[in-house]
């Protein structure tokens, strides 16, 4: 067991504006003038223990992914109660099994609502993710839930269901 295991995270943000020039039908994508810059961060979260947990608890085992199903009921992302790092990503695909993705649903108007207790963490669209860290290991992943919803109305979607990729350490 290594006490120096960690997770590296990087995020890049590029605020963009879309312009339609007066004498052209071609859209131009430019960096948002009000912001004037892109943003990026890169950081390390010390985990301390090994990544040898059960696949259903940490999201991966032996190099293989363990997809979580998001359906109309708010389901806990993990049973781990002392996490230092939580990553949740909506793949944009239907859930088929813990090891296989279903059909591509990225353009069908579905999203995943992520919550911690009653607090809304965000709505994940296809390919988007959230990361939560707590170096003291006080993240209770059993209180972090995902629910499959129709994006515009935010009403629960019962069929199909969405596939979530996650890492809890």
pLDDT value of position 2: 62
- Please state, in angstroms and rounded to a whole number, the distance separating the CA atoms of residues 19 and 148: 34
For the stretch 139-165, pLDDT in tens is: 999 999 999 998 777 777 767 899 999
Task: Say if residue 83 is in the same domain as residue 118.
Answer: yes
* Per-block mean pLDDT, blocks of 10 residues, the chain (169 long): 84 91 82 90 90 92 94 94 96 95 90 93 95 93 94 76 95
Model's pTM, two decimal places?
0.87
- Residue 44: the pLDDT is 93
Question: Is 150 within a domain?
Answer: yes
The predicted pLDDT at position 61 comes to: 92
Residues 127 and 87 in one domain: yes
- Residue 116 and residue 34 in one domain: no
Residues 132 and 109 in one domain: yes
Quick one: 59 and 95 in the same domain?
yes
Number of structural domains, the chain?
Answer: 2
Q: Is residue 160 part of a domain?
A: yes
Q: Determine whether 155 is exposed, middle or buried from the number of CB atoms within 10 Å of its CB (0-12, 13-18, 19+).
A: exposed
Query: Does residue 140 share a domain with residue 122?
Result: yes
Distances in whole angstroms, Cα of residue 30 to Cα of each of 21, 22, 25, 40: 12, 16, 16, 18
Q: What's the pLDDT score for residue 158?
A: 67
The answer on 80 and 26 residing in a single domain is no
Does 1 reside within a domain? no
Does residue 19 sit within a domain? yes
**Is 40 within the bounds of a domain?**
yes
Place of tokens 């499959």: 148
Say yes or no: 60 and 142 in one domain.
yes
Give me the domain span that covers residue 36.
6-44
CATH number at residue 126: 2.60.120
Instruction: Give the integer Cα–Cα distance in Å for 94 and 162.
Output: 4
Do 141 and 74 have their domain in common? Answer: yes
């Amino acid at each position: 067991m290594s006490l120096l295991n960690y997770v590296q995270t990087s995020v890049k943000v590029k605020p963009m504006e879309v312009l339609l020039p007066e004498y052209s039908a071609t859209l131009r994508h430019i960096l948002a003038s009000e912001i004037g810059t892109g943003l990026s961060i890169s950081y390390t979260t010390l985990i301390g223990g090994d990544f040898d947990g059960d696949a259903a608890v940490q999201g991966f085992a032996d190099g293989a992914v363990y997809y979580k199903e998001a359906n109309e009921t708010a389901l806990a992302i993990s049973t781990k109660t002392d996490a230092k790092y939580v990553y949740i990503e909506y793949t944009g695909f239907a859930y088929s099994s813990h090891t296989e993705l279903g059909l591509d649903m990225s353009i069908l108007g579905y999203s995943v609502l992520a919550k911690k207790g009653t607090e809304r963490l965000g709505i994940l669209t296809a390919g988007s993710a959230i990361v939560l860290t707590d170096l003291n290991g006080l993240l209770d992943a059993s209180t972090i839930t995902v629910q499959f919803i129709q994006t515009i109305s935010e009403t629960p979607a019962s069929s199909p269901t969405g596939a979530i990729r996650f890492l809890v350490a």
